[in-house]
Structure 1
Amino acid sequence: MRFQTLPQWLKWQESLHFTDVDPGLERVGLVWQQLGGTSKLPFTVITIAGTNGKGSSVAMLESILRTAGYRTGTYTSPHLLQYNERICINGQPCDDQTICQSFERIDKARVDTSLTYFEFATLAAADIFGRNNIDIAILEVGMGGRLDAVNLFDTDIALITPIALDHTAWLGTTREAIGFEKAGIIREDKPVVCSENQPPQSLVAHATSLQSPMYLAGGEFNIDIDQHQWHWSNNHTQLQNLPLPALAGAYQLQNASAVLQVISLLNDQDYDIAEEAIKKGLTTVQLAGRFQQIHGDITTILDVTHNQQGAENLAKLLVEIPCKGETFAVLSMLKDKDVVAVASILKPVIDTWYVSGLEGSRGMTSDVLAAQLSNIIDESKIKPFPTVIEAYQQAINSAQKGDRVLVFGSFHTVEAVLNARI
């Protein structure tokens, strides 16, 4: 074996390929063929693409399916605390040995073909799932869809969550361009579920060209909200008095509604997912870093929001769940994110901004972040710090009982604070 530990493998993978992001299926597809794999995996595949809500949708779908007695595999990215979170079986992260053994198989098969960190992970997930007799895999696209490594595998049902501007350097600068990239996960004659009522026309056109049945929110399936419960229906199923998802935010009903349409399609394909499993799955779902609250005299809120659409959802939640005192933000972001778009939305609900830099080539420095914020926020309310932890500690020290500290802007921002609190 090339390496004996998971950290050794991961450090090597970080520099194996000449660039972190290199969209395309040729290299990863060649290695998968050399591993003996094909595009059709030996279990049901649900592929999830979109800008916001992918992680929540994966979590709710997996929770319901596992509650119904199915053996699940989930592949998500990025991770928060441990790499192992990316590849889970029945809700449990795979252990280091399992992942290392898969890496060794991939390394031998690739010969001299270069792979990115993400491509290694994607192949490992498919390899591990195939060796663990799962019933169904839920695969989260990393970025876009058409050229993402996850799209190497044919999906049985595509789920596309709300689409907004993000990763514009790779996916395009309009919603239509991004929608076309997301639509790449759709397969001929296979159903596609959209969390939105009006997805980009480019997505609709692509699905139509493939004769893939489309199920749109507010069209083929609908919800009715009634305070602390909700009702869901499509053309042949009605689910009454459903509990609200355990994930915070009214917008989670949009994600949950599309998930239930996927469940309905699975039941049409001879799955047996009962209403009680749906209800229990919704109430027991867990997902770190999505308005995750750590209560105390000063509440800490952790949220991985990093784009305009996510900021809109976060702002609504902060209003829906007010605090007695002030709200302090701890913010750090990657260079390719639209700082002004995000901050403009959250400006009315945040009192003071503690900004910090992120390490790595993609991280934005605190000085650059503060300068961008100063275009729309009074400089007296902006306090820059070199690291996330320094910014968080100062925010906590400045806060009083009844205040809250919101940590957001990137998975890396939330990861740093979670690690510091363990």
Structure 2
Amino acid sequence: MRDLQSWLSRLEQLHPSEIELGLERVSSVAGALDVQVPARRVFTVAGTNGKGSCVRTMEALLRAVDHSVGAYSSPHLLRFNERIRIDGHEVDDVQLIAAFEAVEQARGETSLTYFEFTTLAAFWLFKQADVEFALLEVGLGGRLDAVNLVDPDVAIITSVAVDHEAWLGSDREVIGREKAGILRAGKTFVCADPRPPASVIDVSGKLGCDSYFIDRHFSLVDGVYRLEAEPELVLGLPELRLPPASVAAAITALAVAGALPGADQVCTTLEQLHMPGRCQALIMRGRNLVLDVGHNPAAAEYLASWLKQHPVPGRTLALFAAMADKDLAGLLAPLRSSIDHWYPALLPDNPRAAGAEQVEAALAAAAVPAEQVSTPSMAVKSQLERAFGELGEDDRLLVFGSFFTVAEVLQLTREQQDAQPE
């Protein structure tokens, strides 16, 4: 196959299931590819929320002092290439196709899921580039995720909350144990969850990890970062556009690994750091937009806090569409007091998306007053136009609920070519 899209379409059909947790199949192919050690140093990040922000922070800080870095994250918003970056640049189609061809040759008759195949491709690209650091974001859980076939030098858990219940369970202790599967005996572990499940503490203790827990060994309060362990460190940080706990975990991981830049470089880098789809503020048609991929209750709580910390003179309106398997009422309830009017939307081309009845029932279950909801629910693009018709210059429109929702609106802003960072 000569083009990337043909490859990606084929990978979607290679395995009967979108997800099949387990490492036996992917490990055997990794051995054939010789990618079990994709870089000289490996940092693996698991977590319900905030893991992408942690990877992005470490990547930016390492690149600030010219370290060679491979970063792997998922999912993507607009292009698959976003998932794999080498030295701060997305890999191009030619590089990806070469990696896919290498994995295809190595796998033989072994069946791989889309995520397993593309994870191996990322490892192959990092090995070919001889990167010093590989920063790996777990896709789902930890213990049985394809990323976990690599032994990390530093393991990071950003948060533990309930999500993906069908695969991970609905109990934080069970979920925490799955995420703690990325820890390795005697290696460094950084935890950014202020209330870590006992299962995480238990695993780190039994493995004899060199552990660092937020609010115990490190903290980030009122713009001041402190590491109260070796090496002791105090940094005054600029206003952050990414979750503070994830940023603090990234700083801690690099500091204890002896790879953190100097204080001035840290501040300059963080001042400029942002991520598409994470509290991303844009101006479109002269109006304020905020895009956020938050899709579970914990993410909604953070988003509500962010909105209160960044008020606008006018109203905050919300357009949301989400997947049917999410806790929709739990996603909406934390934002109820922050939103003046709601525009429930649909993703009709996505078979996983929630339908109109489910969305409207979730709003009612979250105790959102009916007079604050524009019904009936319509497709994202139609609801966006409807919201813009009622959006004043002092108002803002929040778009959230799913990567798919944000991707659709972000693509529209690109097509209209007048969207600018706020």
TM-score by length of 1: 0.93
Aligned partner of 1:32 among 8, 30, 33? 30
In the alignment, what sits opposite 2:410? 418
Deviates more, 1:374-383 or 1:87-96: 374-383
The 1-side partners of 2:34 and 2:332 are apart by 48
Question: After superposition, where does 1:147-186 map in structure 2 within 5 Å?
Answer: 147-186=144-183
In structure 2, stretches of 5+ residues that fail to align are: 415-422
* CA drift at 1:272: 6.5
Superposed CA offset, 1:67-104 (max 9, x none): 02201110000001110000001111000010011101
Question: Does the aligned pair in 1 maintain the 2:230–2:256 contact within 8 Å?
Answer: no
* CA drift at 1:264: 1.4
In the alignment, what sits opposite 2:249? 258
The 1-side partners of 2:214 and 2:100 are apart by 40
For 2:296, give the aligned amino acid: N
Question: Does the aligned pair in 1 maintain the 2:61–2:260 contact within 8 Å?
Answer: no
Q: Tell me, yes or no, if structure 1 residue 300 matches structure 2 residue 289.
A: yes
In the alignment, what sits opposite 2:130? 133
Q: In structure 2, the residue corresponding to 1:180 is in which secondary structure?
A: helix
Q: In structure 1, the residue corresponding to 2:226 is in which secondary structure?
A: strand
In the alignment, what sits opposite 2:40? 43
* CA drift at 1:137: 0.8
Superposed CA offset, 1:100-120 (max 9, x none): 111011111112222111111
Q: In structure 2, the residue corresponding to 1:15 is in which secondary structure?
A: coil
Question: Does the aligned pair in 2 maintain the 1:330–1:391 contact within 8 Å?
Answer: yes
In the alignment, what sits opposite 1:105? 102
In the alignment, what sits opposite 2:328? 339
The 1-side partners of 2:194 and 2:372 are apart by 39
Question: After superposition, where does 1:16-415 map in structure 2 within 5 Å?
Answer: 16-38=14-36, 40-225=37-222, 229-247=223-241, 252-267=243-258, 271=259, 273-295=261-283, 297-358=286-347, 359-375=349-365, 376-382=367-373, 383-415=375-407
* CA drift at 1:15: 1.8
* CA drift at 1:291: 0.7
How many correspondences in the alignment? 410
* CA drift at 1:122: 0.5
The 1-side partners of 2:306 and 2:221 are apart by 20
The 2-side partners of 1:37 and 1:59 are apart by 23
Q: Structure 1 residues 197 and 207, CA, compared in 2 at 3 Å: closer, same or farther? A: same
Question: Does the aligned pair in 1 maintain the 2:321–2:402 contact within 8 Å?
Answer: yes
* CA drift at 1:403: 1.3
In the alignment, what sits opposite 1:5? 3
Q: Structure 1 residues 360 and 231, CA, compared in 2 at 3 Å: closer, same or farther? A: closer
The 1-side partners of 2:192 and 2:34 are apart by 35
* CA drift at 1:133: 1.7
Superposed CA offset, 1:39-71 (max 9, x none): x33420000001111111111111111102201
Deviates more, 1:366-375 or 1:315-324: 366-375
TM-score by length of 2: 0.93
* CA drift at 1:28: 1.2
Superposed CA offset, 1:355-381 (max 9, x none): 122233322123321222223223333
Question: Does the aligned pair in 2 maintain the 1:50–1:144 contact within 8 Å?
Answer: yes
The 1-side partners of 2:135 and 2:79 are apart by 19
The 2-side partners of 1:6 and 1:166 are apart by 31
Q: In structure 2, the residue corresponding to 1:192 is in which secondary structure?
A: strand
Question: Does the aligned pair in 2 maintain the 1:223–1:233 contact within 8 Å?
Answer: no
Question: Does the aligned pair in 1 maintain the 2:251–2:260 contact within 8 Å?
Answer: no
Question: Does the aligned pair in 1 maintain the 2:39–2:134 contact within 8 Å?
Answer: no
| Root-mean-square deviation (Å) | 1.6
In structure 1, stretches of 5+ residues that fail to align are: none
Q: Structure 1 residues 231 and 111, CA, compared in 2 at 3 Å: closer, same or farther? A: closer
Q: In structure 1, the residue corresponding to 2:257 is in which secondary structure?
A: helix
Question: Does the aligned pair in 2 maintain the 1:365–1:386 contact within 8 Å?
Answer: no
Q: Structure 1 residues 272 and 377, CA, compared in 2 at 3 Å: closer, same or farther? A: closer
For 2:404, give the aligned amino acid: H
Superposed CA offset, 1:379-417 (max 9, x none): 333324342111112111121221111000011110000
* CA drift at 1:136: 0.1
Q: In structure 1, the residue corresponding to 2:129 is in which secondary structure?
A: coil
For 2:144, give the aligned amino acid: L
Deviates more, 1:128-137 or 1:288-297: 288-297
